[in-house]
Chain A
Amino acid sequence: MLGFFVGEMIHSLFLINLSGDIFLEKHWKSVVGRSVLDYFFEAKEKAVNPEDVAPVLQTPHHYLISIYRGKIFFLAVIQTEVPPLFVIEFLHRVADTFQDYFGECSENVIKDNLVIVYELLEEMLDNGFPLATESNVLKEMIRPPTILRSVVNTLTGGTNVGDMLPTGQLSNIPWRRAGVKYTNNEAYFDVIEEIDAILDKSGTTVFAEIQGVIEACVKLTGMPDLTLSFMNPRLLDDVSFHPCVRFKRWESERVLSFIPPDGNFTLMTYHVSSQNLVAIPIYVKQNISFFETGSCGRLDITIGPKQTMGKTVEGLMVTVPMPKAVLSVNLTASQGNFTYDLATKVLVWDIGKLNPQKLPNLKGSLSVQAGAPKPEENPALNINLKIQQVAISGLKVNRLDMYGEKYKPFKGVKYVTKAGKFQVRT
Chain B
Amino acid sequence: MYCFTEVLYHGKNHLISCNSAEKIMFSQHNPLFSVDGSLSSRSQEFLCIFLCACTSIICCSSDCHCVTFFLNLHQHSFYYFFYCLQENRQFGSKMTDSKYFTTTKKGEIFELKAELNSDKKEKKKEAVKKVIASMTVGKDVSALFPDVVNCMQTDNLELKKLVYLYLMNYAKSQPDMAIMAVNTFVKDCEDPNPLIRALAVRTMGCIRVDKITEYLCEPLRKCLKDEDPYVRKTAAVCVAKLHDINAQLVEDQGFLDTLKDLISDSNPMVVANAVAALSEIAESHPNSNLMDLNPQTMNKLLTALNECTEWGQIFILDCLANYTPRDDRESQSICERVTPRLSHANSAVVLSAVKVLMKFMEMLPKDLDYYGTLLKKLAPPLVTLLSAEPELQYVALRNINLIVQRRPEILKHEMKVFYVKYNDPIYVKLEKLDIMIRLASQANIAQVLAELKEYATEVDVDFVRKAVRAIGRCAIKVEQSAERCVSTLLDLIQTKVNYVVQEAIVVIKDIFRKYPNKYESVIATLCENLDSLDEPEARAAMIWIVGEYAERIDNADELLESFLEGFHDESTQVQLQLLTAIVKLFLKKPTETQELVQQVLSLATQDSDNPDLRDRGYIYWRLLSTDPVAAKEVVLAEKPLISEETDLIEPTLLEELICHIGTLASVYHKPPSAFVEGNHGVQHKGLPGSAGSAESESPDAVSAGAATEAPAAVIPSQGDLLGDLLNLDLTPPATTGPLPHSGGMQMGAMDLLGGGLDSLLGGDLGGSPAMGAGFGAPPAAMPPAFSAPVSGSLYDLFDLDNGVGMPLGSFCPPKTVWLPAMKAKGLEISGTFVRHAGVIQMEMTITNKAMSVMTGFAIQFNRNSFGLAPAGPIQVPSPLSPNQNIEVSLPLNTVGPVMKMEPLNNLQVAFKNNIDVFYFSCQYPISVLFAEDGKMERQVFLATWKDIPNENESQFQIKDCHLNSDAASNKLQSINIFTIAERTVDGQDMLYQSMKLTNGIWALAELKVQAGNPNYTVSLKCRAPEVSQCVFQSYEAVLKN
Contact = CB atoms under 8 A, between A and B. Distances in A.
Given A147-B81, A268-B345, 12 more contacts: A2-B899, A4-B863, A24-B136, A60-B677, A82-B664, A85-B392, A89-B392, A114-B136, A127-B205, A154-B84, A170-B230, A206-B450
A271 B347 CA distance: 14
A376 B497 contact: yes
A237 interface: yes
17 contacts: A8-B241, A54-B427, A56-B664, A65-B391, A66-B391, A82-B664, A133-B309, A150-B93, A154-B92, A157-B121, A169-B230, A198-B419, A206-B419, A237-B380, A240-B350, A243-B310, A274-B417
B311 A129 contact: yes
B427 A112 contact: no
B391 A55 contact: yes
B1028 interface: no
B40 to A, nearest CB: 22
Contacts of A378: 457
Interface stretch (B4-12, B290-298, B667-675, B747-755): B667-675
A8 B137 CA distance: 23
Given A5-B244, A273-B383, A92 B389 contact: yes
Interface in A205-261: 206-207, 209, 211, 237-243, 247-248, 250-251
Interface of B: 28, 31, 52-53, 73, 75-76, 79, 81-82, 84, 92-98, 100-101, 121-122, 125, 129, 132-133, 136-138, 156-159, 161-162, 165, 169, 172, 193-195, 202, 205-206, 208, 228-230, 234, 237-238, 240-241, 244, 268-269, 273, 276, 280, 283-284, 307, 309-311, 314, 318, 340, 343-348, 350-352, 380-381, 383-384, 387, 389-392, 394-396, 413-414, 416-417, 419, 421-423, 425-427, 447, 450-451, 454, 457-460, 495, 497, 662-665, 667-668, 672, 675, 677, 679-680, 862-863, 897, 899, 908
Interface in A264-303: 266, 268-269, 271, 273-275
A83 B351 contact: yes
B1033 to A, nearest CB: 25
Interface centre among A83, A154, A268, A382 (most CB of B within 10 A): A83
A247 B349 CA distance: 15
Interface residues of A, number: 122
A153 B664 CA distance: 46
A27 interface: yes
A206 to B, nearest CB: 7
B501 to A, nearest CB: 12
Nearest to B243: A6
Given A170-B229, A238-B384, A161 B158 contact: yes
A369 B976 CA distance: 71
A180 interface: no
Contacts of B240: 8, 127
A48 B460 CA distance: 10
Contacts of A162: 157
B84 A155 contact: yes
Contacts of A170: 228-230
B414 to A, nearest CB: 8
A130 B129 contact: no
Contacts of B343: 239-241, 247, 250
B384 A240 contact: yes
Interface stretch (A118-126, A184-192, A327-335, A390-398): A118-126
Given A81-B675, A150-B95, A211-B387, A240 B228 contact: no
Contact of B82 (A48, A80, A151): A151
Interface string A145-163: 1111111011101011111
B394 A54 contact: yes
Contacts of B346: 89
B125 to A, nearest CB: 8
Contacts of B307: 172
Contacts of B665: 81
Nearest to B908: A1
A252 to B, nearest CB: 12
B206 to A, nearest CB: 7
A380 interface: yes
Given A6-B680, A80-B283, A118 B169 contact: no
Contacts of B94: 145, 149-151, 153-154, 160
Contacts of A31: 169
Contacts of A165: 193-195, 230
A411 to B, nearest CB: 23
A6 B284 contact: yes
Contact of B97 (A8, A92, A112): A112
A315 interface: no
Contacts of B425: 49, 51-52
A377 B459 contact: yes
A85 B381 contact: no
A147 B451 contact: no
Contacts of A169: 230, 269
A127 B237 contact: yes
A207 B391 contact: no
Contact of A118 (B165, B283, B677): B165
Contacts of B194: 165
Contacts of A133: 309-311
A385 interface: no
User: Interface of chain A, helix or strand or loop or mixed?
Assistant: mixed
A88 B195 contact: no
A129 B314 CA distance: 11
A377 B318 contact: no
B241 A127 contact: yes
Contacts of A58: 668
A7 interface: yes
A412 to B, nearest CB: 23
B664 A84 contact: yes
Contacts of B314: 83, 86
A200 B416 CA distance: 14
B98 A112 contact: yes
Contacts of A126: 202, 206, 234, 237
A55 B394 contact: yes
Contacts of B667: 56, 84
Given A81-B664, A85-B348, A238 B383 contact: yes
A27 B208 contact: no
A174 interface: yes
A342 interface: no
A196 B310 CA distance: 28
Interface centre among A54, A134, A250, A269 (most CB of B within 10 A): A54
A85 B351 contact: yes
A23 B137 contact: yes
A29 B208 contact: yes
A241 B346 CA distance: 9
A404 to B, nearest CB: 19
A4 B138 contact: no
Nearest to A107: B29
Interface string A50-80: 0110111010110101111000000000011
A126 B277 CA distance: 12
Nearest to A113: B97
A114 B100 contact: yes
Nearest to A51: B425
Contacts of A357: none
Contacts of A174: 269, 309
A126 B204 CA distance: 12
Given A66-B391, A118-B136, A8 B280 contact: yes
Nearest to B160: A161
Contact of A148 (B79, B100, B309): B79
Contacts of B390: 51, 55
Interface string A115-144: 111110010001101100110000000000
Contacts of A183: none
Interface in A16-50: 22-31, 34, 47-49
B96 A56 contact: no
A377 B454 contact: no
Contacts of B122: 157
